[in-house]
Amino acid sequence: MDEEEQLAFFLEWYDSQSGQKKEYIMHYHGDNTVELVERKTRKLFLKRIHIPTVTLDDLYIGGSVNV
């Protein structure tokens, strides 16, 4: 994957303390950086950061990723 390419994924996170399901859009860049945006409000939740442990192979339907 080229460093300038970007993929987007819809994510769900269940917050057990509040009992709510939260939805995000994760932007994955070819240089192993990710950014999370709240799906409903489009507010930035997590600015673009480098996460060397998250690769494109980790991102699939039903998968789990720790950030």
The pLDDT value recorded for residue 55 is 87
Output b/e per residue, 12-28; b: 16+ Cβ within 10 A.
Answer: eeeeeeeeeeeebebeb
Contact 5, 28 (CB under 8 A): no
d(CA 5, CA 62): 23
Please write the tens of the pLDDT for every residue from 9-63: 999 999 999 999 999 999 999 888 999 999 999 999 999 999 988 888 999 999 8
d(CA 67, CA 32): 12
- Helix, strand, coil proportions of the chain in percent (round to 5)? 5, 50, 45
Query: pTM value?
Result: 0.80
